Structures are given as structure tokens and as C-alpha cells.
Structure 1
């Protein structure tokens, strides 16, 4: 049934849409020239995400998460994949529903919409080398403060980052960023990028080797001009939720998403407990 005017439409049933937060690990060596990092700093690894420049009001010219509407003949997940394919060419192997965002004020003068946000982690091979096509650009997570993001998309991104920081101790999740095998420096870079803190590499190496979570593959990997480094993988028993990324409901398997100490939207305000297993004291 139609509505007589926009005012009536805004008091009616909201539209349904999807937005997607894609996070990848990157640094100066792999970021495209037009990708943007904070203050021109490229030295340490950091988290990157693709944003799309809006071409219509509201927020014309501003950066936004990939997203779009949901058709009657498709699932939420398919709508999220379609939005990614049409803007970024990315197709992660798995998308997880993050949270539903709603409210009469979030459309900023547009028609009301409930957005089902999704998130995923991708490896460098899936990022197309952080390439931009003019309307899509990769940004470092710590460069977002200099941007005017559309709608409440900064809130959605912050929610995804909090979710990641409360789960960085899960090996199957770490493998999405660094791969199934890795050097200790690569693992260090992941934890440093996710936490947003500098971590002493020597202390990190000692703690991880003493943790019992890693096994040496017997192979070596050259990193820059350094001598070849040992390649490790997580032992199977180190992952408390080894199939967490294969199902439809990671929340049902992961107690980190429940319990006390949660902040806005039910996500823990501090990642200290989750990171303590990987971050050595300094």
C-alpha cells in the first residue's frame, strides 16, 4: 500500500538495508598509492577497510560502507554479497551478521531504514592489492577520524572493531588475517594492528613460544632483508571454536559475545582480557 506523502512515509514501516565492514591487514608495502593512512605513517601494520563515495543525497560526496537495499527474492546474506560485488569486487568466503542498526534519526532526512550490518576479515590476496577505482578507496582504520562518514557508519565500524578486539585470541579468526601458517613477526603484526598498540617484538616472541599454542612447520620464510624466519601454525587444540567461521551463528558458539561487562550494543568496552593471552606485558 502506498503513502500519500513523504511525511506519512517516514511514519510508516522502514526500509531494510545491509552494510558491510570488510577488514584486512596491510602496511606500506601492500597499500595502493591512493590508499590513505593517518598522518602519512606507514611503518606498522594496521587494519584497512574499503569505503565507497556517495553520489547522491543525503551525504553526497561523503564516504560510506558498501551496502544497499534488500530485495524480496534474496536473503540478507545474499544482499550483502551483492552490495560488495557491485562496489568493491570483494567476495569473502564468509560474512557474519554483526548487528541491526535502527532509529528514526539515522536516515538524516531520508526515508527511514533499518540496516543489518555484516562484517568479514579478508587476506591480502582478496583485497586486489588495495586498489581503488575512484569511487572506492581503502582507508587505514586510524585514518577515519579525518573523514566525514555518511549516516551512522562510523558507529557500525566501531562496533565491528570492538567485536574483533574481543575475539583476537581465537586462532581461526586470526588465520583470516594472517593465513594458516605464519612467522612470529606476522602474528605480531596482526595483534599490534588489531590492538592499535605498539608491542615489543622480543617479548611477544618469548610469550608465544612458551604458550603451547604454536607448532613449528619445519619451513622457513624470508621477510625482507632479514634471515629466513621459522614458519608456525596453531595446534588444533589451541582453537576453542575451530568451526566458528563455518556456521551461520558465531555468537552461539562464542561466549565472548555474551556475559557481563558489555557496553553499547552488547559488545565489551575493553579488549584487555581478550588480548591478554597474546599481548606480553611491557
Structure 2
């Protein structure tokens, strides 16, 4: 299944994308696409519904973040060896963990706000993992059983705040609009192998990132297991699993960063696409 949320910001309704690409309204069935809807039992009930029995959503509504009421937005840094190299940093021996604030979360096609004074706002296409069952001290062999589904994430990053100013990476990762998520959650039964997905990103039509999740340093199962050793994961939590090479910071001979008025497009095989316009913070 492909589950989504549509409608004005803050008023999103739950929906399902049918086989013909039409949005079907789920609001008479569930209140939202959130942790309570993403458990195995809740997803099984949704699978039993004939999509043709649900009302078609007419027009072209805004698509919101594909998960509502996110509890934790956990991110993994330097999880592709070639991205670590372009960042002039060693390949990690254990996952590098940081967080995005949930106030950064926006829809997949909402705009990206360039922060005041920013000259180093960057892009990162990433595979998102949505948790469907509480995970604590989970073995790697069973870790994928705790995943509800997968989605596209743009881990937008302000590199000066992230790297050049004292403190943690979180500062450069959590600006408003820096967490586009969606367009939909694709349930795990429809993703045969999360370690064999192509992912890409373009800015103004120029392809900067073109990678595959097969080159991750730590795969999805390892990440879920590892995180569950140092925190419990709850249904509706989101993990952003790192980016392949091709970020603006790594462009040679000179880095390239986002400016107001640009268009960012990105996608992951089988999980959909995003498109954002950049604009200056007021």
C-alpha cells in the first residue's frame, strides 16, 4: 500500500493511492496516517479494504508529510562511504546519529526556506524508514519486522551551522522546512529489498546525486537494531538513513549551494518523487 496525507497544512486527511494513481479518502476509516495506523494490525485492516470502495479525492490537492504526529526524527550521518570521502571525513565504524526537530517536517512539494544569512544550504536525498512496532533491544535478524514502510526524505542541511559553528550537527539540520517527507509511505511488503533502491536528486534540472542504497555502510536492519539499543523506537518514528555522494558541499572545484528561486527534484525507485522551490526567509 501507498499511504499519504493530503490537504492544507495542519488539516491533512489520510489517504491511500490506488493502482491507477488516484487518491482515495481514508478519513472515514482512520483519523490520520500516524503511529496508530502504522502497526501491523492496523495495516492488515487497511489491506482488507477494496480501494474502489473508498471515495476518490478530486482535483490536485497538496500532499502533506506522509506521517503525522512524528515522535522522533532520527538521522544517520556519513552512511555512504563515498559521501564520507567527499566530506573529507572517515567512514564511521558505528552509525553517526543526529536529530531533526519535528518542526522541520513539511510536505514533499512544499517550499524550502533558505535561512536568514545562509550561504551554505545543501540537499541530501535519503531513504526514510517508518517504524511500525515498538523496538527495544532488537536483533538485526528481526529488525525489518519493526518497519511499517519506507519513504523519500530530503535531509536539507545548512553546512555553516552544521559544521563551522560550535556544537552538534543538529543545529544545521533542523531549520524550518528542512525535512520534506513523502509523498507516501510504501508499506514494507511492497519493498522487496531496501538495500537495492536507486535514489537521485536534481537542482534546476542538473543531476547531482545518483546512487543506490546497496552502498550504505550500515543497512536498514543494522540501523533499526543499533538505534533500539540506545533508545526505544515507537510506531510513527522516522529514520533518515544517510545520503549518497553528490551533495553541494562536495562539488569540485567549488561547492554549490542552494539559492532562492531554484527547483529541487528528488526520488527513490518505487517510493515516489518530491519537488521543492527554494525561497528566502523573511
Tell me, yes or no, whether TM beats 0.5: no
Q: Which has the higher strand share?
A: 2
**TM-score where L is the length of structure 1:** 0.25
Q: Report the structure number with the largest CA radius of gyration.
A: 1
Q: Which has the higher helix share?
A: 1
**TM-score where L is the length of structure 2:** 0.25
